[in-house]
Amino acid sequence: MFTIDDLADRLGGYLPADEIQQVKRAFYYAEQSHDGQRRRSGEAYVTHPLAVANILANMHMDHQSLMAAMLHDVIEDTSVDKPAVESQFGESVAELVDGVSKLTQITFEDKAVAQAENFQKMVLAMSRDIRVIIVKLADRLHNMRTLGALRPDKKRRIARETLEIYARVAGRLGINTIRIELEDLSFQAIHPMRAERIKRAVVNARGHRRSAMHQVQSTLQQSLEEDGLRGTAMGRQKHLLSIYRKMRDQRKSFAELMDVFGFRIVTDDVASCYRILGVVHNLYKPVPGRFKDYIAIPKANGYQSLHTTLFGPRGMPIEVQIRTREMEAMANNGIAAHWLYKAGQTDHPIAEGSRERARAWVKGLLEMQRHAGDSLEFIEHVKNDLFPDDIYVFTPKGDIMELPQGATVIDFAYSVHTDIGNSCIACRIDRQLAPLSTRLESGQALDIITAPAARPNVAWLNFVITAKARSAIRHALKHQQQQEAVQLGRRLLNKALSVFETSVEELDDSLVERALEELEFADRNALLESIGLGRHMAYVVARHLVDLIDGQGAASSESKSQQPVVISGSEGMVTNFARCCHPLPGDDVVGHLSAGKGLVVHRAECRNLTDKNNPDKLFTLEWADDIAEDFPVALRIEIESHRGLVAELAGLVTDADANIEGISIEERDARLSSVNLTLAVKGRVHLARIIKRIRNLHSVEKIYRLGQ
C-alpha cells in the first residue's frame, strides 16, 4: 500500500525538505479530518487524497498544489471550513482547496445543471489560479481509476462527463498523459466489451509487429548515429479510444490501423529536429501533404513537434514525431511543465508560453461566461470550443491566429476582438473581397472591414462555429433587442399618455419612481422594455401614472387617443411583420402587442388577427412617408403550363425592379399550374404595377395576393 513516506521519498527528488514537511503536515491534517470515513471500495478515505497527490508528484507540481490535493475534500466532506484551512496552511492553499471543492448545500433537479454549475465555479477559480484545474484533473483521474465499486449506470454518467469536459480540458492545457488515461478509462466504462476486444487485439498485434517495429527503430537510430546527431528513437503506442474513433470515423478495420507504425525521436535542440527531419526523409520517402510543423506554429495548448508520414519498408506507412526533450515534457505535462521547470529553478520559454496560452484560454472562458444566458448554455459553448482540429490564418500585421476547423470570417473577427466582430461588414481574404460566411483555410491572410454603426446579424448564428463568436453574437442581439424594446415602449407609452395631454418626459421623476416601485420594476428602462415586448399594456401603465398624478380615475379606455403609431419597416427586432398577410406600405395596418415578441404588424383585414375586441392590445398604425425598405409579399398565379414559364415570370419581375425571394410550382391538371411567388417590393403601388404586367401575359388565368 502506498504511504505518505513513499510520497515523501519521491518528492525528495525535486522539492526541498521544508516543503516536503508541509505536504506531510497537510496529509496528517486530512487524515484526522477524514477519520472514520471510507470510500465505496472500503478503503480509508484518506487513500484518495494521497493518490491524487501522487499523480501530481509524477508531474513535478509544487508543494502548494500537493497540499491542496491532500485537503481538497475536507471542506466538502468534513466539518472543516475554508477559514480553518487558511489559518493552518495559508491563503494560497485555502483558495486552491476552495476552487477544487464541488458545490455544496445545493440540490439541482437536473444533473446536467449540476455539472454546468460545478464547471462554472471551477472556471472562476481557474481565473485566480490555474493550478485549480490541474488538481481537479488529478482528482478526476483517481476517481476514474476507482470506478469499479459504482453501479454501471453511475459509471457511465461519470465517464461521459469525464470524456466531454475533463479529458478535453486536459487536452486543451496540453496535459496529454492525463488526457489519454481519462479517455481510455472513460471508454472502458461506457463501452466495456468494445474496449476489452480492442485491448486484446492490441496485445496480439504487438507480438506480430515486434520484429518489424524493432527493425525500423534500429534503422532510424543507426541513421542518426551515422550523421552524428544526438537523438533517441522509440516506438509509439496508440491508445484505445484513438483506435476506436479511427475505426468508427474512417471506417477502417483494426488491421488497417495497426499497419501504421508510430515512432518518436527526441533530441536536444530545435536545430537538431530539422536536421533529423532531413535524415528520415532521406532514409524513407515522405508521403506528400502529410508534413506538419508544430514547432514554428505551436498548437493552442503549447504542443510543439514535427510530424511526418513516410513510406517504410515494403510500403508500410510510418508516422514519425520529432521534438526536443523540453517539447516532450510539454507534450506530456502541458501547463504543468511550468512547475516542473520552476522546480529546477529555471524558467523555460516553452513552459512560460504554455502558461500564457492557458491564461488567454481562461480569459476567453470568463468572457463567454459573462455573455452566456445560463450555465447550460455556457457549458455547451465550452464543449464546442474544446479540442478542435485547428487551422492557422494571418492578421494584416502578420500575427498568427488559431481557429477550429470550419471557422468562418465572423469567427476570425470575434477571435481578434468582440468589438471587431460586432461591427464587421466585409472582409478581404488574400486581398480579395469575400462573404462573411466564407469558411477559412490554413495560410490565408484576412483583413476585416468594420463600420461604427454596424450590428451583428441573427443569421450569423447559422454558420459561426466558435463558442466565443456564438456567445458574443447572442449577447449583442439580446442587448440590441432590449434597446429597441425600450424605444418602442417609449413611443407606445407616449401615445397612451397623449390622451391625458402629457408624456413620459414631462412626468415628475418622484412620480415615476413611485410607479416603478408599485409595478415592481428596477428602473424606467425596464418598464419601457416590458411595454415594448408586450408584457405590460401601455394604456394600463399610463392610467396608473395619471391616477398617481390626480388621485382620481382617468378617462376610460374608450377615450384612448386615436393618434396612430408611425412605422417605417426599419424599427428592428421588436417590430415584426406578420407572415400570414405580408403587410405593405399603402395597406391599412394595425399593430398587435404580443408578449415577448413586441409589436406584430398585420393588415387590417387579416383573418389571423387576434384580440380584435381587446383595444389595449391593438394599435392604429400608419406608414412613414420616407420608406426605403423592401417588404415580402406572396402571390398566387393560375397559369397555363408551358416551357420557359419560370424564366418568363422572372424577367417580368426583374424589369419591374423587384426581387424574387421564393417560387414554387404545383401542377393542378394537364393544362394549368399554380405558381406561388414571394417577391420583395417597395409597397402597394409597386406591387400593383407588377401584378398588371403579369396579368397581361396571355397564359395567365388568375392572379391574386395571398393573406387576404
Q: Which residue in the block uniquely carries the three cell numbers 468562418?
A: 408
**Exposed, middle or buried: residue 550 (CB in 10 Å: 0-12, 13-18, 19+)?**
exposed
Pairing of strands 317-324, 306-311: antiparallel
Phi/psi region, residue 644 (left: phi>0; alpha: psi -120 to 50; beta: rest), is: left
Which one-letter amino acid corresponds to residue 343? A
Q: Which residues pair with 324 in a beta bridge?
A: 267
User: Out of 19, 31, 76, 638, which one is annotated catalytic?
Assistant: 76
Grid cell digits, residue 390: 485547428
In the residue annotation, 76 being an active-site residue is answered as yes
Which one-letter amino acid corresponds to residue 46? V
Neighbours of 14 (CB within 10 A): 17
DSSP assigned state of 641:
-
Helix (H, G, I), strand (E, B) or coil at 459: helix
- 3-class SS shares of the chain: helix, strand, coil, % to 5: 50, 15, 30
**Exposed, middle or buried: residue 307 (CB in 10 Å: 0-12, 13-18, 19+)?**
middle
CA distance 177 to 568: 61
User: Out of 31, 77, 181, 367, which one is annotated catalytic?
Assistant: 77
Q: What stretches of 192-343 adopt beta strand conformation (E)?
A: 231-235, 261-267, 285-286, 292-293, 306-311, 317-324
Q: At what angle do helices 467-498 and 349-371 cross, to 10 degrees?
A: 30
Q: Which residues pair with 602 in a beta bridge?
A: 590
In the residue annotation, 43 being an active-site residue is answered as no
CA distance 358 to 175: 12
Q: Which residues of 196-235 are buried (b: 16+ CB within 10 A; e: fewer)?
A: eebeeebeeeeeebeeebeebbeebbebbeeeebebebee
List, in order, residues 6 or more apart from 22 with CB less than 8 Å away.
63, 67, 89
Report how far apart, in Å, the C-alpha atoms of 193 and of each of 147, 154, 188, 196, 198 are.
Answer: 16, 17, 8, 5, 9
CA distance 392 to 15: 40
How would you list the strands of the sheet with 575-577, edge to edge?
565-567, 618-623, 589-594, 598-603, 575-577
CA distance 313 to 325: 28
Residues in the chain: 708
CA distance 637 to 702: 6
CA distance 497 to 561: 8
CA distance 311 to 306: 17
Output the DSSP codes for 331-385.
Answer: HHHGGGHHHHHHHTT---HHHHHHHHHHHHHHHHHHHHHHH-SSHHHHHHHHHHH
Catalytic residues, which ones?
76-77
